[in-house]
Structure 1
Amino acid sequence: MRKIVSAVVAAAMTAVFAAGCGGGSGETSGGLTTVKVGIVPFSPNAVLFHAMDGGIFAKHGLKVTTVSAAAPTPIVAAMVSGQQQFGFVTTPVLLNVNAEGTAVKCVSPVDGQISKDRDASALVASAKSGITDIKGLAGKKVAVVQLSSINLIGAKKLAEQAGVTNIEWVAIPFPQMPQALADGRVDGAVVTSPYLDTAVAAGAKKLAYPSSQLWPEGTIYCYGATDKYLQEHPDVAKKFHDAMTEAIQYGKDHEAEIKKTLETYLKLSPEEAQKQILPTNYVPEINVPSIASIQDVMAQQGSVKKKVDPKDLVWTPQG
C-alpha cells in the first residue's frame, strides 16, 4: 500500500522538477482567482458543486473547476506536480503521504463530518455469492477503490473484529464495482453512492457501513493542498476554506437544493439525485481525534510507515 502511494507521488515530483512549475493560481478577466480541484465523483461532492454553481466560490473571489480521478492517490500526484491546487484525499492517503515526506494538509471538509446515522458507502456482498454477513467473506475477493483507501482500512477492521483475516482485497474504480459484483468477478465490495444504489438494485446485500460504524462524526476525507502551495498562496486557501465552510453550513438546511447539482455533475435523474444519501452532519470542522484513531488502526494493520502528529495535517487560516 505504501509503495503505491510513494511511487505515484515520486512520479509527480519528477514531473515538477522536469516542468519547473510550482502550481500557482491564475487570474480571470473577471478578477476571480482560478483554481482546479481534483475530485473522485461521488454524491458528497454536492456541496462543492453547489458552491460552484450557486455563486459561493465567486462571492469569495474564486473560480473553481474540477478534474475527476478514479482514486485519491493520483489527485495527490496532480497537486504535487502543480496541475491542481486543491484535491480530495481520504484520511489514510493523507496520513501515508505525510509519513512518506510529502506534506499535504486538509483545508476543508468535503461536506462536514461523517454522520453517525447515515452513510453513503457500504460493504456489500454480491447477489451471486449468497453471503449474508461479514464472516462469509472469509477467503473471498472484495473490491475497494484503491489499496490505501479509508474503505479498505474500515472494512478490514470490521472483518478483523469478526475474526476474518484472509480476504483478498482488489482495487476497482467505483463506477465499475456494480458490474464486477453482478458478473461475480468479486464477492464483495465497499461501494459509495451513487454506485451503491446500482449495486443494491441488482441484488447486492449490505453487510456493514465501515466508516460511520467505526468513526461516527469523524473526518474520513477532506479537500487538501500541499504545504508548499499553502505557504505560497495562503490568501487563496483562506478563500477556499471560507467558501466551503459557507457551503457546508448552507447545505444543512437546503439539502434538496444541493443534491440537484448531482443531476448535472453525476448525470443522475432528478429522482436519483434526491434519493442520494449525503453522509454528513454538516459540521464544517476537521475532527483531529478521528484522524488519530484512523492512524492507530492503520498502524495496527501495518499500513502506515510511521505515525505523524494529526494536528500537523490540518491547515488553519490566519486572520
Structure 2
Amino acid sequence: MRTGLKVTALAAVVAMAAACGSDDGDSTASGGGSDGELTEVTVNIVPFSPNAVLFLAMEKGMFEERGIKVNLERAASPIPVVASLVADQAQFGFVTTPVLINANREGTAIKCVSAIDGQVSPDRDSSALVAAKDSGIDSLDDLEGKSVAVVQLASINLIGAKKLIEDAGATGTEYVALPFPQMPQALADGRVDAAVITSPYVEQAVEAGAVTLANPSSDLFPGGTIYCYAATASYLEENAEVAEGFAAAMEEAILYTKDHEDEAKATLVENLELTEEQAQAQILPSNFDPEINLESIGEIQDLMEEQGSIDSTVDPADLVWKP
C-alpha cells in the first residue's frame, strides 16, 4: 500500500517551499496603500464546486467592500497549496483537515481562517466513492484487494474511504494518488477500480456508468469541518486586519448562498468552465453554517491516529485562527 508516503511527502514539499520562498519583492501579501488602494491577496484553490461561494464573494464585491482584491491560483491538491503558503506565493489557500493536522504536526504553523462553504451537510454531498463501470463492484466489501484513487495520500477522502471499506470487512485495498480531473478517464480505462471523486468530476464519472458506493464525508462527518481556507500563523500575526476582512467576506458569502444557491452555482460557468445546465446541477455539500467545527477536527485526528497515519496529535484549537 502507498499510504505510508503521505506525511513525509507533505514535509518534503513544505521544506522545499521554505527554502525557495518568494524573494521577488511582490507586495500582494501586505496591506493596501494609503489612498484607498485594495490589498491584493492570492488564494490558492483546488478547483471543485464548493469554491462557488468564494467566486460569488468575488463577484458580489464582498472582498472589495473590506479593502481586499482576491487573485486566484489553482493547485491539484492541498499539499502544494501548503507549499505556496509557506513560500509566500499565496496568502490564503484550500486545505483539508488531515493536511492541516499533518502540517502543524510537522512544524508548519497554518490555521483555518474561514470555512469554504459551511459545514458538511448530512443529507447531500458533492463527493462520492464510486466503482468503475463493468468492474463487478457494487458494494464496499467488493473492494477487497482493489485499487482506489484519491486526490492525495494525506486526504480526507482517503481517511473516509479507508474507514468505510475496512468497516465493511475489505482488506488489501491499494490507494493511488490521482488528480480529480483525471479520475473519470482512469475509471473508464480500468486503471483504477474505484475512486473518491468530487464535483464537477463525479458527475462525469457517473454519467459514464460509474456506480456510487458511499459518500464518505457526509456519512462519517455530518456537520463537520473537513476543509477550510487557511493561512500561515506568521501571515496572520502580521496581517490580522486583512484576515478579519477575508473571514468576514466569506461568512457573508456563505450566509448569502444559503438563500441564493443558484447565484453561487452560476459562477461555476466561468470559473470551472461548466455549461449553465452543468453548473446548476452541482451540489454544494453544505449546511451553510460558517463556524469551524472544532469537535469534528478532533474526531478526524482521532481517526487518523486509529488508522496509524499519525503517531502524535495537536490541539484542534491551535489549528483555528481567532482574531
TM norm structure 1: 0.96
> Aligned AA for 1:74?
P
Q: Separation in 1 of the partners of 2:221 and 2:319?
A: 18
Match of 1:140 in 2: 146
> Residue 250 in 1 paired to residue 256 in 2?
yes
1:12 maps onto 2:54 in alignment: no
Task: Mark the runs of 5 or more structure 1 residues left unpaired by the alignment.
Answer: none
Please provide the CA RMSD for this pair.
Answer: 1.5
Cα distance in 2 for partners of 1:208, 1:112 equals 21
Quick one: structure 1 residues 22 and 146, their matched pair in 2 at CA, closer, same or farther if it must change by over 3 Å? farther
CA deviations on 1:2-51 (whole Å, 9 max, x unpaired) are 11110101111111287799983353775111000000000000000000
AA matched with 2:226: I
Instruction: Measure, in 1, the Cα distance between the counterparts of 2:234 and 2:213.
Output: 41
Q: What code does the residue aligned with 1:265 have?
A: N
| Match runs of 1:73-92 below 5 Å | 73-92=79-98
Q: Any idea what SS the aligned residue of 1:316 has? A: coil
> Counterparts of 1:217 and 1:124 in 2: how far apart (Å)?
22
Residues 21, 82 of structure 1: 8 Å contact kept: no
Distance in 1 (CA, whole Å) between partners of 2:202 and 2:209 is 11
Kindly state the Cα deviation for residue 287 of structure 1 after the two structures are TM-superposed. 0.2
1:236 equivalent among 237, 242, 245: 242
Q: Is the 8 A contact 1:21 1:81 kept in 2?
A: no
Does residue 226 (structure 1) correspond to residue 252 (structure 2)? The answer is no
**What is the TM-score with the length of structure 2 in the denominator?**
0.95
Matches within 5 A, 1:115-264: 115-264=121-270
How many Å separate the matches in 2 of 1:120 and 1:143? 16
Equivalent runs, 1:28-67 vs 2, <5 Å: 31-67=37-73
- Quote the Cα distance in structure 1 between the aligned partners of 2:36 and 2:16: 35
1:98 alignment partner in structure 2: 104
Measure the CA separation in 2 of the matches of 1:187 and 1:285.
36
Does the CA-based 8 Å contact 2:101-2:314 persist in structure 1? yes
Whether the 8 Å contact between 2:127 and 2:198 is mirrored in structure 1 is: yes
5 Å-filtered alignment, 1:101-116, equals 101-116=107-122
SS at the partner of 1:59?
Answer: helix
2:10, 2:87 → 1: CA distance?
14
Unaligned runs of 5+ in 2: 1-5
2: CA distance between counterparts of 1:91 and 1:146? 13
**Aligned counterpart, 2:74:** 68
Percent identical across equivalent pairs?
61
CA deviations over 1:236-261 (Å, ceiling 9, x no partner): 10000111000000000000011100
- 3-state DSSP class of the match of 2:125? coil
**Any conservation in 1 of the 2:149–2:176 contact (CA below 8 Å)?**
yes
* Stretch moving more, 20-29 or 297-306: 20-29
The aligned length equals 317
AA matched with 1:25: S
Cα distance in 2 for partners of 1:59, 1:282 equals 21
Task: Tell me whether 1:291 sits opposite 2:297 in the alignment.
Answer: yes
Which whole-Å CA distance do the structure 1 matches of 2:262 and 2:254 have between them? 13
Does structure 1 retain, via aligned residues, the 8 Å contact 2:130–2:197? yes
Aligned to 1:309: 315
In the alignment, which residue of structure 2 is the partner of 1:277? 283
Q: Distance in 1 between matches of 2:119 and 2:202?
A: 20
In structure 2, what residue type is equivalent to 1:312? D
Cα distance in 2 for partners of 1:215, 1:61 equals 35
